[in-house]
Amino acid sequence: MPPPPPPLLLLLLAALAAAARPRCPLARGTTGDCHGPWAADSATCVDMPLRTCSDVAYNQTAFPTLLEHRSREAVEASSEYILLSVLHHLLEGQCNPDLRLLGCAVLAPRCEGGRVRRPCRHVCEGLREACQPAFDAIDMAWPYFLDCSRYFASVEEGCYDPLEKLREGLDVEEALPSGLPPTFLHFTHHSYAQMVRVLRRTAARCAHIAKTYSIGRSFNGKELLVIEFSARPGQHELMEPEVKLIGNIHGNEVAGREMLIYLAQYLCTEYLLGSARIQRLLNTTRIHLLPSMNPDGYEVAAAEGAGYNGWTSGRQNAQNLDLNRNFPDLTSEYYRLAESRSVRSDHIPIPQHYWWGKVAPETKAIMKWMRTTPFVLSASLHGGDLVVSYPFDFSKHPQEEKMFSPTPDEKMFKLLARAYADVHPMMMDRSENRCGGNFLKRGSIINGADWYSFTGGMSDFNYLHSNCFEITVELGCVKFPPEEALYTLWQHNKEPLLNFMETVHRGIKGVVMDKFGKPVKNARIVVKGIRHDITTAPDGDYWRLLPPGSHIVIAQAPGYSKVIKKVTIPARMKRAGRVDFILQPLGTRPKQLLLGPRRSGSGLRDPPGGASRYGEPEEPGQEPLGGRRQPSVGGSKPWWWSYFTSLSEHKPRWLLKY
């Protein structure tokens, strides 16, 4: 039984249902046939005091509107207008504020110089393509008044971009202090707009090795902007490992955000200056930097400022969710599966009940990012202490607040943690009175659950749902350090960041193919004695992080005979050894015999857009369905429709898909 929506959402839905006036026979169809034609080009411009549309890029509109509303009161009483204020909650922050601004462009058209201007059709079409899965997830029809072919115009017709304000100030070039060269690192805190400008400027300087892209938006609509470095930015290259570094998952922990902004500029500059180390790293590795996973929380923390920020102010996102507690708890399921030797305990699917709760758009963006990119290594940068922790973060005995809870890859995770800590001057400082001094006897690294146990963490999710190994780095005891401390922080963390990224080349890599040389995607790479398999990427390539020593490695896939090889990794080897596998087909034997053990229990399944049993991406563009977001079946109405029927006899049937 899906849980009821929150009280605030009920109030908004009630307002929407009550406002559905029978201005015209809405039952004719879902295309809005009852509404009249476009307003005339000539119009009387009036001020537009509409609260929901107060942040549009213009300040005057005209009546009657494109939907034949003849006054501000008529607009505000309309179901279309109130729907715009509800969508933010119905879609759980997705496509916000884009859809609202797009809708405002129709409900309150732009008026300039006595003429009405139409929003651009291509903007509408792009948004519909991106946001349709979010409507499908709650079984809601695309709003008729966002019909791209009817209410929007082409560039040739003089349209305008209704989303222009979202980019306002982000494309404006900011002069460096005192005319300093672009190679200069300015050790200061960066606002969201400044961060975006620096990343885009850096990508432009190194366009042959860098590019920026967005993985989604925050709840308040800020782009989650990534800068990528690679010999061929924008594409995965065969056997090139992928690394991601994520900062600012907690909005008030800002050191990681700044370190990644500086790192992006440093990598670009050093590559251009001919640094052999940086050129080798970027020519053999695809690196993705997400400086701020929680830009909304950062805004709250930055408003208080460095030195004044409280321990928790700005920590959560705009929904008051702790993003590092918002991922699926797969660790509990791992402990259950680990009790049986006959089932796999890696690439665990997301439980259906997870989608019944509140999932932040930032969390969804990270999960979708992971589905579309074969990450091998990752680090999440935090603040509040000085230590490197590694999975598991959740204790194998839930009642124990502190309990050593290793993964099957304990040795490798310790190597990864030490790759950072051992070259960090303060983590190696022998004083127990310093920040993080209580971790000195452990070498400034610790198993997460042995420090303190919690569920829903990003690192555990990475390890149990994908091929990616993620550690957590606490950069210092001051969460929002003053600007004068940033240069020293960079000096302390520059080498650890580089050294950590270079460890992605430890272990083995290769390609799994059939006898015809065709890549076998989703093949399993099994290491005897380590109960955690990884899977091949769509091109058949794989990367298996392994500690030094001898290992028995097995490659297997449904329909093929397994291949076993023994590999030895020298202690000082810093380049992944290449180990390819050629799988022979099993001929006429039934393929289902090789599907491997099935998971017990019926409570787990991957939603569309998740990974299959063997980790293969499925339709990554789709949003997950489940719980109260599950679509209607058998002709029943969607979960949200009952609130309309109980509150008003006039119902916006154009919201229904049938």
220, 228, 176, 219: which is closest to 197 by C-alpha? Answer: 176
Q: Of 17, 75, 141, whose CA–CA distance to 9 is shortest?
A: 17
Q: Which two tokens stand for residue 321?
A: 């969710």
User: How far is 266 from 263, CA to CA, in rounded Å?
Assistant: 5
Determine the 3-state secondary structure of 268 from DSSP.
helix
177 CB neighbour count, 10 Å cutoff: 9
- Number of other CB atoms surrounding residue 555 within 10 Å: 24
Which stretches does DSSP call E strand in 2-142?
46-47, 60-61, 110-112, 115-117
DSSP annotation of 403 = -
Q: How many CA atoms lie within 13 A of 500 on its CB side?
A: 32
Looking up tokens 């959402």 gives 9
SS3 assignment, position 339: coil
What's the rounded Cα separation, in Å, for the pair 39 and 110? 11
Asked about 484 being catalytic, the answer comes back as no
Residues 331 and 325: their CA atoms lie apart, in Å, by 12
Give first-to-last CA distance, the chain, whole Å: 24
As a whole number of angstroms, the distance between CA 150 and CA 124 comes to 11
For the CA atoms of the chain, what is the radius of gyration?
Answer: 27
The answer to whether the CB of 55 falls within 8 A of the CB of 170 is no
For residue 216, give the 3-state DSSP assignment: strand
Per DSSP, the chain holds a count of helices (H) and strands (E) of: 16, 20
What's CA 236's distance to the chain center, in Å?
18
257-262-264-270 Cα dihedral, nearest 10 degrees: -160
Among 474, 484, 495, 616, the active-site one is 474
| Gap between the Cα atoms of 292 and 373, Å rounded | 19
Alpha-carbon distances of 71 from 57, 76, 509, rounded to whole Å: 21, 9, 66
Cα 166 to Cα 55: distance, rounded to the nearest angstrom: 10
Question: What is the dihedral angle through the alpha carbons of 227, 233, 239, 240, rounded to the nearest 10 degrees?
Answer: -40
- Residue 501 CA to residue 574 CA, distance in Å, equals 12
- Look at the block and give the residue holding tokens 């709840």: 219
- Distance, CA of 219 to CA of 358 (rounded, Å): 12
Q: Please name which of 480, 460, 464 lies closest in space to residue 472, comparing C-alpha atoms.
A: 460
Phi, psi of 511 (to 5 degrees): -130, 140
* Interatomic CA distance for residues 475 and 492, integer angstroms: 9
Would you please indicate which residues are annotated as catalytic (active-site) residues? 474
